[in-house]
């Protein structure tokens, strides 16, 4: 959610997460330390991007984890999801972590994959990421043969102020929704879907 340079998905994801938090949900965002998008953003903006997220999005519990693979990654993931209701992997997260999330199971856990650009996913991506094993795919438009729930991209009010240069994110969606309305719609539709 910090690494927004050439990555509008970070802006959409933090708007979505923040709006869910304002609705009373506990939101914990975890991303790999020194991931490519974060590194690119910090090289471009300095620490301003990181300060912006921590200062302007206080409802989000944001943390990073050290890169790992195999059994250590599964062990870490198992601890992370032990007390949550929904685990959401966001398009762009590394393939191994996405696949572990798709395959981990626990009573009461819903596994979701969030994709802001579903048209960028081809059949080989769907297979490689094991998207058919997720309980639900969150996307602006449905993805063929996968159980989908509509989530519209939006920008948080905090990102519309002068702290950050939105042009650095690259082209933004032409169909941005109101962040709070989009989160409320998601929450209602999600509750109906899982009940």
Secondary structure (3-state) at 84: coil
Point out which residues pair with 88 in neighbouring strands: 112
- For 171-174, which contacts have Cβ atoms below 8 Å and span 24 or more sequence positions? 171/8, 172/8, 172/11, 173/8, 173/12, 173/116, 173/140
pLDDT tens, position by position, 67-78 = 899 999 999 999
Structure tokens at 137: 């795919």
Per-residue confidence (pLDDT) for residue 28, from 0 to 100: 93
Domain presence at residue 135:
no
Tell me what the mean pLDDT of segment 126-148 comes to.
Answer: 94
Per-residue confidence (pLDDT) for residue 8, from 0 to 100: 96
**Residue 195 pLDDT > 90, yes or no?**
no
**Residue 164 pLDDT > 90, yes or no?**
no
Domain presence at residue 34:
yes
Point out which residues pair with 138 in neighbouring strands: 114, 149
Cβ(148)–Cβ(142) below 8 Å? yes
Range of the domain at 39: 8-87+145-194
Domain presence at residue 140:
no
Predicted TM-score of the model (pTM): 0.94
Split into its structural domains, the chain has a count of 1
**Residue 133 pLDDT > 80, yes or no?**
yes
Domain presence at residue 51:
yes
Mean pLDDT for the chain overall: 94
Domain presence at residue 104:
no
Give me the DSSP letters along 147-162: -EEE---B--GGGGST
Per-residue confidence (pLDDT) for residue 194, from 0 to 100: 80
Domain presence at residue 128:
no
Q: How many residues does the chain have?
A: 195
What span, in angstroms and rounded, lies between the C-alpha atoms of 122 and 74?
26
What are the backbone angles phi and psi of residue 14, rounded to the nearest 5°? Answer: -70, -30
Per-residue confidence (pLDDT) for residue 83, from 0 to 100: 86
Domain presence at residue 136:
no
Cβ(11)–Cβ(169) below 8 Å? yes
**Residue 44 pLDDT > 80, yes or no?**
yes
Domain presence at residue 80:
yes
Per-residue confidence (pLDDT) for residue 163, from 0 to 100: 74
**Residue 156 pLDDT > 80, yes or no?**
yes
**Residue 14 pLDDT > 90, yes or no?**
yes
């Amino acid at each position: 959610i910090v690494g927004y340079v050439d990555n509008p998905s970070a802006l959409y994801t933090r708007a979505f997460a923040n709006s869910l938090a304002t609705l009373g949900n506990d939101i914990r965002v975890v991303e790999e330390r020194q991931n490519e998008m974060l590194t690119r953003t910090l090289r471009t903006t300095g620490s301003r991007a990181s300060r912006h997220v921590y200062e302007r999005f206080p409802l989000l519990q944001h943390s990073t984890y050290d890169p790992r693979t195999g059994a250590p990654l599964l062990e870490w993931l198992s601890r992370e999801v032990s007390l949550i209701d929904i685990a959401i992997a966001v398009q762009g997260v590394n393939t191994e972590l996405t696949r572990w999330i798709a395959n981990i199971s626990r009573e009461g856990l819903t596994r979701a994959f969030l994709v802001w650009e579903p048209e960028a996913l081809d059949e080989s991506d769907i297979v490689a990421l094991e998207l058919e094993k997720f309980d639900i795919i969150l996307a602006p438009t449905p993805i063929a043969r996968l159980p989908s729930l509509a989530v519209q991209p939006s920008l948080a009010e905090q990102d519309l102020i002068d702290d950050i240069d939105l042009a650095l994110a690259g082209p933004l969606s032409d169909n941005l929704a109101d962040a709070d309305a989009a989160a409320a719609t998601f929450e209602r539709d999600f509750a109906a879907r899982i009940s």
